[in-house]
Structures are given as structure tokens and as C-alpha cells.
Structure 1
Amino acid sequence: MAILSEIQIRELKNSLENSGLPYRENQDLSANCSFKIGGTSPIMVEPETQEQILETLSVFKKLDLPWKILGGGTNILISDHPNDFVILKLSGGFKEYKDMGEGIFQVGAATNTTPVFRQISQKGYTGAEFLSTIPGWTGGAVIQNAGCYGGELFDLIQEVEFLRDGEVLKRRPSEIEHGYRFTEFLKRKDSIILSILIKLKPGNLEEIGTSLKEKRDKRNSSQPQNKKSAGSMFKNPKVFDEQGKEIKAWQFIDKVGLRGLQIGGAQISPEHCNFIVNTGGAKASDVYGLVNTVQEKVEKETGVILQREVEYFGSIP
């Protein structure tokens, strides 16, 4: 795919300005993701309402422009080559959540999961404490069916509101293909998550506070802190030992001797083998090289195929 021309960018800017759509130019995508890796996007459109999303997509279609939606950027590796697409990033009302009563909450796709689900839990509702330890945006958490400590987001969801083919749709979990770190939205890149409805049970505030702290402390003690990464790089392969205990992805990586391996500025974390960290100046190709090395060596020596959990964003390597 060709890099966007100056003429295309100028036409896009004119169309956005004529439509009153908010946008920013020459955005450093490394500043929009937790890996701190990525090139520059010529245009980032930031719609604040459903109407503005539809208008933005209409402009993209009219000008025949390739586009991608970017959320919190905590589970992606962005190409550091000049980008050949424009970015859509939700803003405005999508950054809010509403208490609908009786334990039901409407959560916007652009809300930050950690503070939002902590706040919801602190209202005296239990079941979402684990989500307060997962960084990123709610929309991305929906797409991946994010989870940890035995819980998954789809365990709580009553309804997903999303945009597809110019139509706003609402679907129950039973109507959406989903599983471990997977939903149909990973395959349908034309879908834009708008919000979700979740239902929680009332709980004891003191017990909820204890649960929040225990999960936060557990994550802080077992994962790299204040490091530039995208979280768990690989999905757990659902392999069990003779006692029926699950063998995690990090254990296979450690078993084949890759703990601490470094390519360029990217390193397999010495603290947690399922994390790749940017030690400074890492390129997307460095991370890509580590990912391939891990997958090839683990499969060769153990027969286990590790699947990426982190999504590639743009042309990599």
C-alpha cells in the first residue's frame, strides 16, 4: 500500500474542516502506545459522537483512504515506518461511563480501564476488580476479551454497542463469537466498539477494597513495572502437566533459555518472560525479531505453538 500523498492529505484536511470534525496532524504514534514505538500518522481524527464517527467514515470512503482505529495502545506494536493510513481515535463522550442503577453500568469505549473499573468497584459492586489491573481502553478490552486472575470481560458484559457498515448495532455476548483472548472483532476490522453494558453484584466495600489491593499487589510483584511494553506478548497455550496444572507461555519461553534475550533495543524481560520491553530506542523490527525467535525455538524444542496476544499495527517489520 502506498504512502499517502500530500494531495490526499490536503483533500482530507479540507473535508474534515468543512465538516467540523476534530483532528490533529503529524501525530507521533510512539506517544500513543505503551511500547513507545511507532512512526508518524499524517492525520488523526478524534470524533466525539456517533454522528462524528459516521461523518468521518463518510469522508474516508469518499476520498478512498485507508484507516485504522487506535485506542489506548497498550496491546499493540506499531510500525515505525512512514504510515500509509490515517487514524481514527475516539474522544468526547466515549471517555465516560454511566451508573444506570441496580449494578448496571454503561462504559464508553475510550474509558481507561484501570481507573474506571476501580471507581466502579469502589461504588460497592463486585466482579470487576480484576479489570482494574489491566491497562488500556475498554474498547480494546472488548476486542481482545481481556482478562486475568480467572476473570474475563465477557463474563460481565450484558450488551456490546458497536458500529459496522454504517449501522449502530447492539448485541448480547451470546450473539458475538468470543473465547480466550479472542472475539469476532479481531477478524472484523471494520467494527468500531462504542460502549458496553456490564452488570455487577453488590458487595462489601471492605472486601472489595482488599480484593483491589491484592490484585494490584500481585500484578506489581510479578510483572515489569514502569517499563515500556505491551503486556503479555503471547497467549497461554492451554497446555497442562501430568498433575493437570496449566503451563503458562512464560514457562515455555524460560524453558528454552530465552529469558533476557535482546535484539536491538528490545528485550525479553528478565522479570517476566512473556513480556518484551523497550529498553530504549527499540524498533518494531527488534520486537518482531524476538517474537519470531521465541515462536520458532519454543515450537522446535517443545512442540508448542505460541500465538501472539499483541496485535501488529501497520506494516511490520
Structure 2
Amino acid sequence: MASVRHDAAVENAKKSLESVLEELAPPNASSEALAKIRSYLQQHPVDTLILNAEVQITHIENPDTGIEERVHLSPMDIKDALKQAQQRKMNLVRMGARGDDLAYCRIRREQAWVWKLVQPEMDLVSGLTGIPATDSSVAAQQQEQRQHDASGGDGQADRPRQYLGKTKELVDHAFRDAVDAHFIGWRSKKIVQDIRKGHPVKLTIRDFQSPEAAVHKLREMSNAVKAYAEEQHIYHHFTSIVGNDREASLTLSPPTANKSGTFSKTVKHPSEKEWAHTLKRMEDACQKAGRSGTYVKSNKLKMRNVGPTTYRVDKYGRRVD
């Protein structure tokens, strides 16, 4: 009797597949796009296409940020799971299963995923016809932008979105107190890109001649990072600033969503007072250690080979008239 009911459910699912396909697919979708969506729905059934008796929900999409947050819920009846998805005006999507009984599902807005899945096919249609494939493509991009509002900033399409998930591994950017403006320019952009990808970053100067030189150069890098981050709308804040006889360092962290799903949209770096306190602590630590820095600059000339030239040079690379 149970097998008969299961076979009947399979037949009903086959009939409802086309209706779900019609609901999720973008208008004017090509046959290739429809075939791709049909294959996807067979692998990941949605709503009434799920035939399992019990469902365990593992993730629920945050409607404000679009992030699928991990949840720990007990297995429930398929009807209760569908009710939860309908209350949120979202879809119940099966990601895996244990036999025919228990399905592991997520609650999320599935239409945006489907449109993104067939975007290459829709772009191909647009390129062949010379006109936009569908106005819904624009709507899909707008919906995806709302889901990732944190990272989009002003919503420019060519700007990479900021990662807003679990904090990743710390990246240490170490440099000397003698680097030039060119180094600060390109390295600050690399630091901002690491923050955009969700990495906390640590700006560290371990080789310095004096506390003043170390703090001054660290502040130059901090200002460059802040300026570029504000331009690109990469939000972050500083978590610690260290000054001792071994190093001067500044740690920056990307924002994390709170329980309500919101996050800080600010770029916060140390204030003038905090920089002054760091310099004072570093000077005191170096004084106690009996040294002014970790290295002493030598004025002794070093032999160098400058390569072929049209003029005479000495062994130090200096021009000889």
C-alpha cells in the first residue's frame, strides 16, 4: 500500500514539474534554458516536488541580507516545512536526502537561483536577437542586489560585492618603515581586496628604525586603506592597534551581521588620540628595551652592478665624470 501511494506521488510530481518550471523560469526562456531548469529541479526538487515524508531544514535565507543562515531544527512533517516556507514567501528546496524518508532542505528564494543558473542561455538569446532576452533579467539582478545589499554600496554592476559570511582566516601584511608611496598605493588596494573577501587583515611593521618612523608609516598605510575602502564601499573597522618594542600593528576586520541580520556600513580607523597613545606606548617600550628600533640604517656604500651604461661608473654604481 505504501509503494502504491509513493508511485502516485511520483506521478503527481511529474505533472506538477511543468507548473513549477513555468513559475520559476524567466519569460521567453529558450528550450536550452528550460531543459537546464528541468534537470536542476529533478536534482533539487522544490515545494510540492519533494516526495519525502519528513524534512530537516538546515538553512533559512535572511530576507534582509540574502545570506542563508545555518539553523538547528528537528525533523518535521513535509506539510509543516512547506507552511514555514510559505509564511516567509520563499521556497522549500531539497539539497539532499537520506533514503526516501528524510530530506535535507533549505528555505530560500529559488527564483533568483534559477535565473542566475540560466543567465548564460538568456544572454545568448539576447546576443542573437539584438534585444534584451527578457525584462525579468533586470529584475533578477535587482533582486540579487537586494540580497547582497551589504556589499553592493551604490549598486554598480562592475563593482565586486563584499563577502558577508563567516569571518575567514587572518591575513598578515608585513612591511618596513622605509617603503615608498608607490608601495603604499598598490599594497593598500590589495589589503582592501582581502577585506572584501571576508579576511581580517593585520598591517604589521616589525623592521623599524624608530617608533616615530614606524607609527608614521603605519598611519600612511591606514589612511590609504581607508580612502580606497570608502571609494569602493568596502566596510570594516579596526579591532586593535599595537605599539611595542617589537612591532607596530593595526588589525582591521570586515563587518559581521548581528541577530537581526543587519551590519555596520562604516569604515572606522583609529583616531588622532589613539595614534598618539600608540606612539607613546611604543616609545616607552623601546626605552625600557634600551634600543630605538629593530634595525639601524647604515650609510656604508654597497657594491652594485647597474648593468651596461653609456658612461663610466665606480663599483658602487655612482657615475664617474
The TM-score, its normalising length taken from structure 1, stands at: 0.21
Q: Which has the higher contact order (CA 8 A, sep 6+)?
A: 1
TM-score (norm 2): 0.21
The structure whose Rg is larger is: 2
Higher fraction of helix: 2
